[in-house]
């Protein structure tokens, strides 16, 4: 049997990066940056007021207080978006709004709360020091500074930063198109009646969701009956449309040969027994030059295998530097009995309580218990050589999403 790490390493080593494309800024959300982003100018581009108040010379109001206010002449009003076109001299002030450029001559801003307006004059009730309530040019980003590096997921903060710097278009890695195939004579579609012996195809939906959430483009290629010719045709017909295939079902002992024959004929496939639970049988290789993941059919095996193998592979193809979920150490709130010999992925509810993460199993852990994925927000990873774990033991948990109440 292959270890999870070894299987993952072999997969990641054999995958290429997809090419770069230039896209409009908004389209880049959820894609991976393919270029270094260097600031062409300072942010903010000019010294400006951090408050609504009066721009003035700090020295003029050094001794101002409520008891002995300092009386200044008000030169006018400066809203955000305009420049003053005048200079603030001794004994003078300019009414200024947040974000308006600091006028020449002024070196500080007194907030409006510390003043009393009196016609074209203002009484300053509190002193400020030079630079107070002023945002300096470049205090966020300096011209020439590199703020983002290739390999980074473009999220909301990155979009905002790119917009501030004037990047209307940006180079990203292309999103991978993932062809999703469900196999099995027992499967019917979500809109169909359940006949005896039939179940609904759920895997192509969980896979669709996981591909989308990873930033890929899922393409559901439908349910293929356990029929070698059909599977071969579905793959051949879609070779030009997808960057990789993910199939579910047909790699366990019973139907192993059908899938093995077809895939073996179409390319270079490996059929592995990976020392993991759930998800022991896995197929990975290339058909017609496209990577193909043959995941086992059980709904939880599909999701756990996707997490361990397909998601990092997809992210790598799409240029990402960080391929893995965040991991935390959590304390078990319930004991876990288990057999050694395989890495086990227990679906857990993770919670932050009393200064640490706590984890408890979601309930039954069979590979067909999809509810465990619905209830859980993490996968506790129990190493191959670890046996029973008592309440209070520490476990490593891959965080799949943030804590939520069931």
Judged by the rule CB under 6 A, the positions of this chain that interact with ligand AMP are 182, 184, 186-187, 199, 201-204, 248-250, 252, 254-255, 296-299
Q: Cβ closer to ligand AMP: 51 or 235?
A: 235
Tell me how far apart the alpha carbons of residues 304 and 324 are, in angstroms, rounded to a whole number: 13
Token duo for residue 370: 């999809």
Listed in sequence order, the residues at least 6 apart from 16 whose beta carbon sits closer than 8 Å to its beta carbon are 317
Q: Cβ closer to ligand AMP: 185 or 394?
A: 185
Element (H, E) at 233: helix 228-238
Of these partners, ligand AMP, Mg ion, none, which one is at the site of residue 247 (CB under 5 to 8 Å by kind)?
none
Provide the residue count of the chain. 406
DSSP character at residue 82:
-
Token duo for residue 136: 């300096």
Is 184 a residue that touches Mg ion (CB under 5 A)?
yes
Q: Cβ closer to ligand AMP: 166 or 254?
A: 254
* Selection from 154, 166, 115, 109 nearest residue 134 by Cα: 109
Q: How many residues bind Mg ion (CB under 5 A)?
A: 5
Q: Name the minimum Å distance from CB 145 to ligand AMP.
A: 49
Listed in sequence order, the residues at least 6 apart from 231 whose beta carbon sits closer than 8 Å to its beta carbon are 181, 183, 224, 247, 250, 258, 259, 262
Of these partners, ligand AMP, Mg ion, none, which one is at the site of residue 203 (CB under 5 to 8 Å by kind)?
ligand AMP
Collapsing DSSP to helix, strand or coil, 3 comes out as: coil
Of these partners, Mg ion, ligand AMP, none, which one is at the site of residue 248 (CB under 5 to 8 Å by kind)?
ligand AMP
Give how far Cα 276 sits from Cα of 4, 92, 341, Å. Answer: 7, 75, 8
Is 249 a residue that touches Mg ion (CB under 5 A)?
yes
Q: Cβ closer to ligand AMP: 151 or 297?
A: 297
* Selection from 349, 347, 318, 345 nearest residue 333 by Cα: 349
Q: Name the minimum Å distance from CB 363 to ligand AMP.
A: 19
Q: Cβ closer to ligand AMP: 113 or 192?
A: 192
Q: Cβ closer to Mg ion: 184 or 285?
A: 184
Tell me how far apart the alpha carbons of residues 151 and 158 are, in angstroms, rounded to a whole number: 12
Q: Name the minimum Å distance from CB 313 to ligand AMP.
A: 20
Q: Name the minimum Å distance from CB 232 to ligand AMP.
A: 17
Write out the residues near Mg ion by the rule CB under 5 A.
184, 249-250, 255, 297
């Amino acid at each position: 049997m292959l270890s999870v790490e070894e299987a993952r390493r072999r997969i990641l080593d054999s995958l290429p990066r997809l090419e770069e494309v230039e896209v409009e800024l908004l389209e880049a959300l959820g894609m991976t940056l393919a270029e270094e982003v260097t600031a062409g100018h300072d942010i903010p581009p000019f010294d400006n007021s951090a408050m609504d108040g009066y721009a003035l010379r700090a020295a003029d109001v050094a001794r101002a207080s409520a008891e002995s206010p300092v009386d200044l002449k008000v030169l006018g009003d400066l809203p955000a978006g305009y420049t003053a076109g005048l200079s603030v001299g001794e004994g003078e002030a300019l009414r200024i709004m947040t974000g308006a450029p600091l006028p020449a001559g002024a070196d500080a801003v007194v907030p409006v709360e510390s003043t009393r307006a009196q016609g074209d004059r203002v009484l300053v009730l509190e002193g400020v020091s030079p630079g107070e309530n002023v945002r300096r040019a470049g205090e966020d980003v300096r011209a020439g500074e590199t703020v983002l590096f290739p390999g980074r997921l473009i999220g909301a903060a990155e979009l905002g930063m790119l917009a501030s710097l004037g990047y209307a278009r940006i180079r990203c890695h292309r999103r991978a198109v993932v062809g999703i195939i469900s196999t099995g004579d027992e499967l019917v579609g979500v809109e169909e009646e359940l006949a005896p012996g039939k179940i609904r195809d759920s895997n192509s939906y969980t896979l669709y969701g996981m591909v989308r959430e990873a930033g890929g483009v899922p393409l559901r290629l439908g349910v293929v009956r356990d029929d070698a010719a059909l599977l071969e045709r579905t793959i051949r017909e879609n070779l030009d449309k997808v960057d990789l295939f993910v199939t579910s079902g047909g790699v366990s002992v019973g139907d192993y040969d059908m899938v093995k024959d077809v895939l073996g004929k179409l390319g270079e496939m490996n059929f592995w027994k990976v020392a993991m639970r759930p998800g022991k049988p896995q197929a990975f290789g290339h058909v017609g030059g496209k990577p193909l993941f043959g995941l086992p059919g059980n709904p939880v095996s599909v999701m756990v295998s996707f997490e361990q193998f397909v998601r990092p592979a997809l992210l790598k193809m799409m240029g990402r530097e960080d391929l893995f979920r965040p991991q935390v150490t959590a304390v078990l709130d319930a004991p876990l009995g288990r057999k050694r010999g395989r890495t086990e992925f227990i679906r857990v509810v993770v919670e932050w309580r009393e200064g640490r993460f706590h984890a408890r199993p979601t309930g039954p852990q069979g590979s067909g218990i999809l509810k465990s994925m619905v209830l859980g927000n993490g996968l506790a990873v129990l190493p191959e050589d670890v046996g029973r774990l008592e309440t209070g033991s520490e476990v490593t948990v891959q965080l799949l999403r943030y804590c939520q109440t069931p």
